[in-house]
Homo-oligomer: A and B are copies of this chain.
């Protein structure tokens, strides 16, 4: 709570530390890849004490996921266009664009790798997925309030995110805007089933 209040003051020391640490992680991931640096490396690069990092994030895994969710939320916010279909089309196009790019695959690989990074890794991964799930649920709730019949979050995972992710991971099939639209068409058709 205190952290959140601090984060709202963009000029505060807490916000400056957060920005410096996030930038250090982004740089280290680009230079060395995941799994090749420690909390100490991040702190040194950010010019802060190790204890500042441990106090705020607890573990490297939590820090990595904080950076990933911040990046995803900023670079690919869940849309709010006023119509479910348009929201889904904008969202799907963004997911395809992200996964076709190098950063999107890095974030996806991180989420996958965390499953084998012990209890802290699984916790950090689950927090990331829960936060993104909440953002998507908000989009679907807004549609329901407008009287539309949205799919479930799990349907979006199964039939929109999963196909794009697996095509990206396997290097199979095209990842184009037309493909994104096809997936949205199919997702919307699910609602029309008996």
Contact = CB atoms under 8 A, between A and B. Distances in A.
Interface of A: 109, 111-112, 115-116, 122, 125-126, 129, 154, 157-159, 161-163, 165-167, 169-173, 183, 186, 189-190, 193
Contact of A129 (B125, B170, B183, B190): B170
Given A162-B162, A163-B158, A193-B189, A171 B115 contact: yes
What number of copies of this chain does the assembly contain?
2
A159 B166 CA distance: 10
Given A166-B165, A190-B186, A125 B158 contact: no
Contacts of A162: 158, 162-163, 165-167
A153 to B, nearest CB: 10
